[in-house]
Structure 1
Amino acid sequence: MHSTLSQSNGLQPLVLDGSQGEGGGQILRTGLALSMVTGRPLRIERIRAGRAKPGLMRQHLACVQAAVQVSGGQAEGAELGSQSLQFTPGAVQAGDYTFRIAGAGSCLLVLQTVLPALMLADGASRVQLAGGTHNPMAPPFDFLQRAYAPLLARLGVGLELALERRGFYPAGGGLLHAQITPATKALAPFDLLERGAPLAAWGEALAPGLARSVAARELEELGRRLGWTQEAGQLRTPGVRQHEGPGNAVMATLEYAQVTEVFCQFGERGLSAETVARKLAEEVRAYERSTAATGPHLADQWMLPLALAVWRTGQEARYTASELTDHTRTNAAVISAGLPVRVTTEPRDDGAILVRVFPQ
């Protein structure tokens, strides 16, 4: 990858306001990722000012510590509750890493913090992650494996994910492994404007440590609302691994020729199994009514790796989104601040939103 420089080499710091837009942890994670890939020091103030408990929590500290480890960097203000952080990256090193989060904080968000740097490194990396794998505040493992990793492969980046044990809120305890193989040639940005032909669709209910009737009721309701059946293999109950749970998640996977989407809803105390399934069905139906390639979460997650490819090649790329969340708009602003690219969005006549990423 490009030589990573320090502040003494004259690079202007990337200065971010953690209260901008949706004011959450994504500003920190994207800022750390951009700092590592560009070599620009990062200064962020008012971290997570938009949250009920502002400042760094354990899962955010884990992201900072992972960035320090991967880049040989330094961090000031990396303490619980801190609302300001100064991060100075060193040279990113490919290698073997282990990152753990106590409790159910999402270890997948830690992976997404260091993935941009490792996918541009000079060799393959293996990362073991422990913590939450199915957390309501983060994309679940299945989303990264089925929806996100295949798009990275089209850029030229290998991301192989293996799940050893699921970790649900509030206990956590999940374990997964990631193999990251950088592109052998320049990243290859591409347009993702259509889904292509539908190939497969199915739902699955995860309910380790809970009564079997919970998953059965969820799948029955999901099948009723979406027209999916057990006989067609569209309603599934994956096996439970040792030491999983308790926890509950219901997921829907929609496979198309150009893209795969994964939607997820989580059970919680006081919420009926039927309500969880209904919310998931509504999410699926909203995506199916749209003509866009990406749903609201994939539209958000896809933006940074695509922007990196645009930056490295100088070639514009576009994709369509069914919806732009505040999270996505904030991510676009941070990316535009940290890279010499612009991200613009405009509604199309068919209701989809066109996202353009192009060099400045």
Structure 2
Amino acid sequence: MEKVKSSPKLKFSMLEIDGSRLEGGGQIVRNAVALSVVTGKPVRVYNIRANRPNPGLKNQHMHSIMALRELCDAEVDGLFLGSREIKFVPGEPRKKRIKVEIPTAGSITLAMQSLWLPCSLKGCEVEFVGGATDTKWSMPMDYVRFVFLPQVKKLGFEAEVEIHRRGYYPRGGAHVTFKIGKWKPEPYEFERGGKKGIFGVSCSSIEGVAERQKKAALRCLGEGKIEAVYEDAPSPGSSIVIWADYEKTLIGADALGEKGKPSEVVGREACERLLLEMERGWSVDEHMGDNLVPFIALSGGSFTTELSMHTRTSVWVCNLFGLDVKVEGHKVWSKK
């Protein structure tokens, strides 16, 4: 993908973004720094995560911004744990390989929200050491592999994921490599078409758990093919990701295991979430929607979804950067 052109006047101004608006969480920061690199527009984000119990930057935000700084020689002010304001001045992406170390169980997939688009300007390999592959409030890694990446591939975006080691809360300790190609954006109109089948992956670091999650999900669904996988990890944990494969899209859902939560409940939760998404009739699921917005903003195209506050926030941030994304009812679209 080539850098989005911005006017010379904007090169000397700094876009101001209030991090307490709408969703008011880390998503604003992640999208803002990513789009700053793509558009070349410096940005100041203030009131960071003001709507959260512990405001300010968390570890995964810091480490993804540090990775962006390394990728494009950016100038960053205010980069420290708990910081409620940062100034980010991007440079040209130069590195072909970067390493991100997360000493906590911070979400790798959330950190990647800042890196997908900047890395696609010229192509880049990103290695994560530490962090969690499957944790609360974020896409599980198997959702990224089997739903998110196949969906953005329809827009011409090429990327691969290699999981060397899973990581769960509280230790994290994952090891994952992403290989992202140079993106040549292609518009795509997401629609459903006929259903081809339901598939899934149930994963656990504890023997027997993945199989029980799988069986519960299948009993609830009444159809489908789900693979049960055992993978070692520093902390015990589990996840299940299931998706309905349609002719022109994928609809996904997931659930995470927790201490004291029966495996059967985890499997049934994922099933119920998928059935709800299928019943809604939209062309992408709710969680895909907010992640898809910046891609559609740059490639053009459209989709329909259950409009969450995260999706509305993503649209708002994109439009602040001059990317024309529109919302009409449940439809999100952009023309390039």
Q: Same fold (TM over 0.5)?
A: yes
Equivalent residues of 2:143, 2:241 under 8 A apart: no
Letter in 2 for 1:43: R
Letter in 2 for 1:125: C
Give the gaps of 5 or more residues in structure 2: none
Cα shift at 1:253:
2.4
Equivalent residues of 1:14, 1:40 under 8 A apart: yes
For residues 20-54 of structure 1, the C-alpha deviation after alignment (integer angstroms, 9 at most, x for no partner) is: 11111000000001111111111011100111100
Change (3 A) 1:3 1:264: closer
Partner in structure 1 of residue 227 of structure 2: 236
Q: Give the % identical residues.
A: 28
Partner in structure 1 of residue 57 of structure 2: 56
Partner in structure 1 of residue 68 of structure 2: 67
Partner in structure 2 of residue 314 of structure 1: none
Cα shift at 1:266:
0.8
Q: Structure 2: how far apart are the matches of 1:326 and 1:204?
A: 28
Equivalent residues of 2:220, 2:271 under 8 A apart: yes
Partner in structure 2 of residue 34 of structure 1: 35
Cα shift at 1:56:
0.7
Whether 2:320 is the aligned partner of 1:330: answer: no
Partner in structure 1 of residue 304 of structure 2: 320
Partner in structure 1 of residue 80 of structure 2: 79
Whether 2:273 is the aligned partner of 1:278: answer: no
Equivalent residues of 2:245, 2:251 under 8 A apart: yes
SS of 2:261's equivalent?
coil
Equivalent residues of 1:5, 1:91 under 8 A apart: no
Letter in 2 for 1:127: V
Cα shift at 1:138:
1.1
Q: Structure 2: how far apart are the matches of 1:66 and 1:18?
A: 21
Equivalent residues of 2:297, 2:324 under 8 A apart: yes
Equivalent residues of 2:72, 2:95 under 8 A apart: no
Partner in structure 2 of residue 118 of structure 1: 119
Partner in structure 2 of residue 350 of structure 1: none
Change (3 A) 1:10 1:206: closer
Q: Structure 2: how far apart are the matches of 1:203 and 1:4?
A: 41
Change (3 A) 1:35 1:355: same
- Normalised to the residue count of structure 1, the TM-score between the two structures is 0.86
Partner in structure 1 of residue 162 of structure 2: 162
From 189, 195, 201, give the equivalent of 1:198: 195
Give the gaps of 5 or more residues in structure 1: 311-316, 347-352
Q: Structure 2: how far apart are the matches of 1:244 and 1:257?
A: 39
Partner in structure 1 of residue 145 of structure 2: 145
For residues 144-170 of structure 1, the C-alpha deviation after alignment (integer angstroms, 9 at most, x for no partner) is: 222222233222221111111111122
Equivalent residues of 1:34, 1:338 under 8 A apart: yes
CA RMSD of aligned residues (A): 2.2
